[in-house]
Amino acid sequence: MLTQLIFYLLIVFPGTAGEMCMARTMKTVGEVTDFRPGAILRVIGRAMRVPWFWIGLTMMTTGFFALLGMLSVANVSFVFPATAISYLFVLVGSRLFLGERVTPQRLVGVALVCMGVALVALGKR
């Protein structure tokens, strides 16, 4: 049980924080408008020069390997719905870290997801 909790926390927090860092990186790099291979490589090169990219990559890697660990000790039918609670942290992070506007519709949508997560967690017992 403790192992599952540790994996769960490592999926939700570093994984979500990594996504926030990558979003910050892309806001720094700018919008991708040219999808030719050379242009994509230049965007990747610019992203790799942003420190948030490396922080995000490290955190997302941590979350990914925690997900693999969690899948080795819990059922996939529980793991993926339960990790959807990260949507709540994405909502908070996008507001606080990225300065995005959070609409009431998004808030209601995340609340519905969280209720679904609670139902999945209760059904595990």
pTM for the complete prediction? Answer: 0.84
Q: Closest Cα to residue 19, out of 109, 108, 100, 111?
A: 100
- Number of domains comprising the chain: 1
Distance between CA atoms of 9 and 31, rounded to whole angstroms? 32
How do residues 47-80 score in pLDDT, each as one tens digit? 999 999 999 999 999 999 999 999 999 888 888 8
The whole domain housing 71 covers 2-123
Q: Count CA atoms closer than 13 A to 26's CA, side-chain side.
A: 11
Distance between CA atoms of 1 and 58, rounded to whole angstroms? 26
Distance between CA atoms of 98 and 20, rounded to whole angstroms? 8
Q: What percent of the chain has pLDDT over 70?
A: 98
Q: What is the full per-residue pLDDT of the chain (125 aa) written as tens digits? A: 898 889 989 999 999 999 999 999 999 999 999 999 999 999 999 999 999 999 999 999 999 999 999 999 988 888 888 788 888 899 999 999 999 999 999 999 999 988 888 888 787 65
